[in-house]
Structure 1
Amino acid sequence: MQSYLSTNFTADEVHNAIKDMKGLAAPGPDGLPALFYHNYWDIVGKDVTEAVLNVLNKEENPDRYNNTHICLIPKIKNPITPSDYRPISLCNVIFKIITKTIANRLKPILPNIISHNQSAFVQDRLITDNTLVAFEIFNYFKHTNRKKGFVGIKTDMAKAYDRVEWNFLRATLEAMGFPQHLTNTILQCVTTVQFSILINGNPSTPFRPQRGLRQGDPLSPFLFIICADVLSGLITQAKNKQLIHGVKVANGAPEITHLLFADDSLFFCRATKQEATNVRNIILDYQRASGQLVNMQKSEIIFSKMVPNEVKVEVNHILPMTRVDHFSKYLGMPTDIGRSKQQIFNYIKDRVWKKLKGWKEKNLSYAGRGTLLKAVIQAIPTYIMSCFLLPKGLCKQIESMTSNFWWGSNTDKKKLHWINWKKMCKNKTQGGYGFRNTCMFNEALLAKQGWRIATQPDSLVAKVYKAKYFPKCQFMEAKNGNMLSYTWRSILHARWILQKGCFWTIGNGESVNIWKDSWLPKQNGFKVWSTQQGYTRYNLVKDLINPATNQWNQNLIHQIFLPFEANQILQLPLVEPNSKDELVWSGTKDGLYTVKSGYHAAMEWNHLRHNQVSSNAIATDLTWQNLWKLKIPPKHATLIWRILNHSLPVRSSLSSKGIQCNPTCPRCNTSLETIDHVFMQCEWAKVVWFGSPMTIHFNTTDRHQSFSEWLSTMLKTKNQECMAPIAALTYHIWRARNLLVFQDKNVPVMCVVQQAISSSIEYQTLGHPHRLPMCAAATQPRGNNTNWTPPPRNSLKLNVDAHPCGDGRWGLGMVLRTEEGKCVGAKTVVVSGLSDILDGEALGLNVAIDFAQSLGNTQVIIELDSTSIVDAVKQRNFNHFYSGRIARRGRAFLDNNPNVSINWVRRTGNQAADFLAKWALTEPNKTWVNSTPLCIIDIIHKDISLCNFVH
C-alpha cells in the first residue's frame, strides 16, 4: 500500500478525475461547472493538469482554489434552527479535481483497509449488504429462546461530518500507514477551506472553520469512513478480548458486534450490565477522540425475545436511549415484517400517489409523461424492492396508477387505455414502450442479491446466509425451511432467474457437479442430458480432467456422454487449470449479472413461457428498432409508435368503443375518421404531403396499403434524413386535427408544412448534447493500417482469425510470415461448443500462443482483428467467460515472454487468416510448415505487392 500511495500522481489520473464529474453539477464560487472543462479541455487541460499536479506531487498549498460556498438545504418543512438545514459545500471544480484524483487513488485500497462491517463508499459493497445482515439479526432477535439474550443499539450521530477533528484525522491516516506527503496534502485540502454561506443567493462574509469535513467534496466520504474505522477497530478489539460478545445467527456464522454505514451505526452485545457498560465506554472514548457526538434522543435500543424486563431496565439505564420493541426503520427500510405485507409496504403506494397528484399531465406530451414516469415514479420502489418481494397486489396498484397518469385518467375523469399494460411493458424494440413490469423488476433486483451471495462468498452477508441457510451446499441448491427471514424468502423467490441464466466456466473443476450444475454452454440450457447411471463415482468436473496433463480425459468423456455433448466438453478450453471455477451470467458481455440484463431475460422467458405471439403483424422488430434509433423529437416517435399500434383516438375507434360521437372526419364530413383517413386519404392531408419538400403523393384508389403499413415500410427502407421530415409531418397533421376538433382552429396547409420543417431542423441542430473533445482524446488511437504490414527485421508476424462454420462449429486460421511477407507456417483448426464469436477469437489467440511457444525465442507479433480480445489482454480488463480466461492466459504469457506481443489489425489487413479460417472445414486441423496453403497464395502475393507499393 505504501509504495502504491507514494507513487507520483500522473496527468492521466487528473484527466480521469475530470471525466468522472457530472458536467452540470452546481459550480463553486468561480462559477465554472465541470462542463466548461469537458468542452475546453484541449485549451485549459495543460494548465489545469500542471496546477493540480503541483498540489498533489509538490505539496503546493491549495488555498487559492479552496473557497467554498455553503448552500443550506432544509431537512424539514418549516426550518427554524441551523440544525434544521443540511449544509452542502459548493467547491470550485479545480479543487474538486484535486480531491477527486486523490479519491480515485484511494478507492481500490479501501476494501483492504476498511472493516467488512462498513459498507458505505467501499468498492463492491452495497448499502443492502448491511440491510440484509441486520434483518437476519432482527429475525434472530424475534425468534431466539435464549434467556441470556442480546441488545441492539441504533445510534444517530449529530452533524457527523461537521464534527470530525482534524488532529484525529491526521492521527488516523498516519496510523493506517498513509505516506507523510499524502497525509499532508489531504490535511491541506481539508484545513485551508474558506466558507461563505449563500443567503438568498448571495455569499456571506468568508470565514474559516476549525474542524469538520465538507459534504460536496469528493474526498470527504472516504475520509469519514477512514475515521469511522477507528470505532470499528475499538469494537473488534473489545470482542477479541471477550469484553463484548456479538450475535451469531447460526452455528458457524460470523459473530456480529456492529454494522456501519457511514454515520448510521448498529451495535450488538449481550444484554448484561457489564457489556452495556463496555459498549458505552467505547462510544464515549471514540466521541472524545474524534469529535463525534451521539444524539441520545434519536438513538434507540431493542432487546431479543426472552430478555427479562429487569435486565432491560438495567441496560437501558446504562445506555439512556429510547427503548422500542423494534426499530421502525433501518437505512430507510422497515424492520418488522409481519403477515400483512400489503400493510407494511403500503407507504410506497402513498409516495407514488403523492408524486402523481402534484403533476399536471395536461402540460406534458405522452413522451414527456413517459420519461417522467420512468425516471421518477418507477424508481420510487427500487430501493425497497432490492431486499423485499412486494405483494403482487401492491405492484399492480402502482402500475395502475402509472398507467392512469400516462393515459390522462384521474379521480375526476376516466380515459381509455388504448394499449394494455402488458404490451406497454415490452421492450421498445419489441413494440412496447419500455415501462417496467414491477413484479418482474422486483425479482431482477432480488436476483442481484442472490448473484452477490453466489459469487462473493467471502462477503459478510454471504457468510451469514451460508451458515444459516445452506451450510452444506451452494446457494443454487439452498432449500426452503422454517424460521426464514422475509428477505431470504424474497431472494429465494427470485433465484430462478439465476438458475436459468447462469453457468459455470471450468477452472480446476472442483466446485462443479457434472450432473446437477449448469456448465455446458449450448442452445437449450446448460446442464448435461446424459445420465449418471453406471458412473456414480464420477461426480465433479475435476473427475473428467487428467491431473497429469491438465487436459480432458477423452476416452472417459466419450464413454460417459452423448456424442454431441462429449464433443462440446472436449472443446472447452482448460487454460487455467489451477484457478477456481467461476459462475457467469449469460446475459451480458462480461459475464457479470446486472439488474437490467436480468430483467430483460426474465421478461423474455416469461413471454416464451406463456407462448405470447405478437398480434401486430405489420410492424416487425426491425421496424421498432429503426423507429427508436431515429434522431427525432420523442413526441414524434411516440406518435408513430401509437399509429403502428392502432392506438390513436380517431372518431371511428372511439365510436367502436361505445363513446357517443360523430364518427365522420371533422374536415371533410364525408368519410369515417380512421387513422388511414386522417393521414393519407383525406384531401387536406394529401395536399400537406404533396406540398412538403418530399412531394409525397398518395393514390386515392390504392386502398391495399394502410398508413401503418406505409410507415412500417418507410422505417425499414428509408434513412434518417428521409424519416425525420416524415415523422414531423405526421405529428403536425395530427396536431392540426386536434386543434380543429378541440379549439375549432383550421390551420392552413402551408403552416403545417412549415411547422413540420422548422421543428425537424430545430431538433437536428439543437437537440443533441455537445460531443466532448476530451472523449476522443481519452480513446486509444487505433492503427491506420488498412493492409497487411510486414514485421520488423528479424521478427515474425502471426495473423489469427475465427469464422463461424454453422452447426455450432468454428474455423480458426493462422498464418505466420517473415519481414519479406513469405509464409513460413500456417494452421487450420475446427472447434465446436463455443457460444459466440468472442470465444472463437479468444480460442484463436490460445492456439496462436501455443504456436508462438513452439517457435522458441523468436520475436513474434500476434495480430487479431478483434478489438475486444486485444483490449482485454492489453488493458487487463477480462470478462468472466472462457474468452476472459484465455485473455488472462494471453496476458500472463506476454508478461513472461517479452519477445511476443499482440496487436489489433483491421480486417482488411487480416485477410489471409480470415480466408484460412473459412477454409478450415475443407481442410480441418492441418498444419503447413515452410509452405503456403494453395487457397491463400493469391492473398499472400497481394499483401506483398501492397507492401512493396507502400515502401
Structure 2
Amino acid sequence: MSCVTSSSFLVIVNGKPSEPFGVSRGLHQGDPLLSYLFIIMVEGLGHFLKFRASQGLIHGWQWGNGLPQISHLQFVDDTTLMGLARIREAESFRYTLDIYIAASGQKVNEHKFSIFFFNTPQTIQRRIADILQFQVGLFALFIWVFLLLLEDTPGLLGRLYLTSCIRRCFVQVAPMYFLKEFDTLSRQFLWSGTLSTAKWSLVKWDTMCRPKNEGGLGLCSAILNGQALAAKLYCHWCTSKNQLWVRILTHKYLPNVNVFDVSCFPVEGRGSMICNTLKLGAQLVKNGLFWICHTGSQDPFWLDSWDGHPPILSTHPHLQSLSDMFISVGWDTIDHYKIAHNGGLVACFRWKNPSELPLGGFVEDRKELAQILESRECTTLVRNDALVCASNNLSGKFYVSTGCVELVWQTFGDIQVPWWKQVWYKFSWPKYNFFMWLVVHNRCLN
C-alpha cells in the first residue's frame, strides 16, 4: 500500500491545476488497479503455501502414485486449499492463513468460505471446521437458471428467445438426468410460461429441436449439447498432454497407459459421471482423431490414425502378428519405420524397405506393409507431432457448436423441407416468422 499512499494527485479546475493532495484511503472498489494489487498479494500466499508444503508441514492431496501432491489451486481471485482430513493439517493451514492476514492486512470472510469433506467422520469434520473457522458446505453442482425468469413471463416468442439463449450458457458437462429434466422444464416454460403448471405442447419437442431447414426452430437439445461438451472434454483429454488434469484422468481411468496413447484405448469403468461423460464423448470424437505426422516420434504406427488414414490394423487385421513382433522390440511409433537419406542441404526421409525391418519371417506381410507405406507420404518436417480432430472442422479443433450440428445430423438426418425459406426469410419480423411456422405445422390456435 505504500506505493499507493505515497503518490500525489492534482485536479484541473476551470483550466487551472489545484494544489497536490495525497491518497489516504487506498484504492476504491472497482478501481482497475485493485485487481492487480490483489493478485500480487495472493501470489505471496501461494508461495508461502508451497514453502510450508516443502517443509512437510502441509501434505496436500495426492491423486495417485507418481502424481504430484497438490496443496492449493489459484485462479485470479479464487484460492482452493486441499489437504488431508487431519487435525494437524487443519492447524497448519490456519497458521498459514493467519500469517498471510497479518502480513497483508487482508481479512478472510468466513461467510463466503466453505469446506468440503470426503468420507470423513462427523466428529472430525466439526473439529476441522472449528479450527479453520469455515462452515461445512454442500456440493451444489448446478444453479437453476430458470428461477430468474419466474418474475416476469414474456410472450411466446420472448420465451423462445430466452430458452434459446439460456441453452447456450452450458460451459461444462452435466449428468444425463439433469439434461433430461432441463429439456422437460424448457418445454414446459416455453408453452406455459411458468414452471409450476404444465400446458399442452402445440409442437413436439423433437420437432422444435430440428434445424430450421428441416422444419424445426433450431433449438439445441440439452442432451445433444451435453454430448458435444463431453466430446470436447474427451478431445482435450487426448490432445492436452502436459496438463495436470490429463495425468489425473489417465491415472484413474486408464492406469498403466501413457498419456500419449489415450486415444488408442477404450475408457473402462462405470458409475462415475466423469467416466460416463468420457465414454459418451469418445463415441463422437474417436473416429475423427488422427495424428499429423511430422517427426513421427509420438505417433503410434499400428493402432492410431495418422495423416488422415485409418489405423493400419483396422484395415489390415491380418498383420496383427507382424505388428506384435515389431512392437515387442520397441518399434511402436512411426519414426522407427523411416530412415534419412542424402537430400542435399535438407535432410530427407523415406520409408524403410522390407529388408531393413528388424527380425525375420513374415515375408509376404512385409511386402504388403511396404505397399501400404508407398501410398502414404513420408514427411521430412522436424516439428512435434499433433493430434487433431478432423471430423469437426478443417482447423483440427473441436468446437461445441459444430459438434451439436453433427449430432443433430446424426439424430435427425438431413432432409430439408421445401417451405423453410418462405417461412424464415419472406418476412423480416420474427413474430411473423414464428406465426407462419405454426401455420405450416397446422398448430395455429383459432
Instruction: State the TM bucket, normalised to the shorter chain.
Output: 0.7 to 0.9
- Please list, as runs of the form range in 1=range in 2, the aligned pairs for 1:683-698 lying within 5 A after superposition: none
Instruction: Note if contact 1:515-1:539 (Cα within 8 Å) is conserved in structure 2.
Output: yes
Cα contact 1:247–1:269 (8 A) shared by 2: yes
Specify the alignment match of 1:772 in structure 2: none
**Which of the numbers 420, 428, 450 marks the counterpart of 2:234?**
450
- Cross-structure match for 2:18: none
SS of 1:265 mapped into structure 2: strand
Per-residue CA shift, 1:890-932, capped at 9, x if unaligned? xxxxxxxxxxxxxxxxxxxxxxxxxxxxxxxxxxxxxxxxxxx
Judging changes above 3 Å, is the alpha-carbon distance between structure 1 residues 554 and 216 closer, same or farther for their aligned structure 2 residues? farther
- Aligned counterparts, 1:93-242, within 5 A: 166-167=1-2, 210-212=25-27, 214-215=29-30, 217=32, 220-242=34-56
Please state whether the residue corresponding to 2:83 is helix, strand or coil: strand
> What is the alpha-carbon distance in structure 2 between the residues aligned to residue 627 and residue 395 of structure 1?
30
Contact 1:515 1:527 in 2 (8 A): yes
The CA distance in 1 between the partners of 2:266 and 2:222, in whole Å, is: 26
Equivalent of 2:376 in 545, 550, 569: 569
Residue 633, structure 1, aligned to residue 440, structure 2: no
Deviation readout 1:267-322 (Å, 9 max, x if unpaired): 2334445443332222112112222211234434455536694x666655543333
Unaligned 5+ segments in structure 1 are 1-165, 171-186, 195-206, 335-344, 655-740, 742-951
Q: 1:551 to 1:239 in 2, by over 3 A?
A: same
Q: Please name the residue that 2:134 is paired with.
A: 321
- Counterpart AA for 1:529: T
Alignment pair present for 1:370 and 2:160 = yes
Partners of 1:356 and 1:308 lie apart in 2 by 38
Deviation at 1:640, TM superposition (A): 4.8
Which of 435, 438, 441 is 1:647 aligned to?
441
Structure 2 Cα separation of the partners of residues 507 and 630 of structure 1? 51
Secondary structure of the residue that 2:82 maps to in structure 1? strand
1:509 is displaced (CA, Å) by: 1.8
TM-score, normalising length from structure 1?
0.38
Query: Secondary structure of 2:175's partner?
Result: coil
Query: Which of 45, 65, 70 is the matching residue for 1:251?
Result: 65
**Cα gap change, 1:401 to 1:598, in 2 (>3 Å):** same
Higher relative contact order (CA 8 A, sep 6+): 2
Unaligned runs of 5+ in 2: 12-21, 342-346, 355-364
Q: Name the counterpart of 1:399.
A: 183
Matching of residues 430-829 of structure 1 within 5 Å: 430-473=214-257, 474-476=261-263, 477=265, 479-481=267-269, 485-521=272-308, 529-531=315-317, 532-536=319-323, 537=326, 539-548=332-341, 550-553=348-351, 555=353, 559-561=367-369, 566=373, 568-570=375-377, 574-607=379-412, 612=413, 614=415, 618-619=418-419, 624=421, 632-642=428-438, 646-649=440-443
Contact kept, 8 Å, 2:58 with 2:89, in 1: the verdict is yes
User: CA separation in 2, counterparts of 1:602 and 1:435?
Assistant: 13
Residues 837-868 of structure 1: per-residue CA shift (max 9 Å, x gap): xxxxxxxxxxxxxxxxxxxxxxxxxxxxxxxx
Cα distance, 1:256 vs structure 2:
1.1
2:153 to 355, 360, 366: 360
Following TM superposition, by how much is the alpha carbon of 1:630 offset from its aligned partner in structure 2, in angstroms? 7.5
Deviation at 1:551, TM superposition (A): 2.5
Q: Give the Å deviation of 1:568.
A: 4.7
Q: Using the alignment, how far apart are the partners of 1:396 and 1:275 within structure 2? A: 42
Residues 295 and 381 of structure 2 are in contact (CA less than 8 Å); yes or no, is this contact kept in structure 1? Answer: yes
- 1:406 positional shift: 3.7
The equivalent residue for 1:75 is none
Rg larger for: 1
Q: Distance in 2 between matches of 1:533 and 1:274?
A: 56
The residue matched to 1:448 in structure 2 has which SS? helix
Return the letter of the residue paired with 1:319. Answer: L
Corresponding residue number in structure 2 for 1:389:
175
For 1:606, give the aligned amino acid.
T
Cα 1:416–1:605 change in 2 (3 A) is closer
Check whether the contact 1:469–1:478 (CA below 8 A) recurs between aligned residues. Answer: no
Cα drift, residue 462 of structure 1: 1.6
CA distance 1:576–1:504, change in 2 (3 Å): same
Contact 1:510/1:581 (8 A) holds in 2 = no
User: In 2, distance between residues paired with 1:304 and 1:478?
Assistant: 28
Q: TM-score scaled by structure 2?
A: 0.76
Contact 2:188 2:198 in 1 (8 A): no
Q: CA deviation at 1:238?
A: 1.2
Does the Cα contact within 8 Å between 2:57 and 2:89 map onto a contact in 1?
yes
Q: Percent of counterpart pairs with the same letter?
A: 20
1:389–1:443 CA contact under 8 A, matched in 2: no
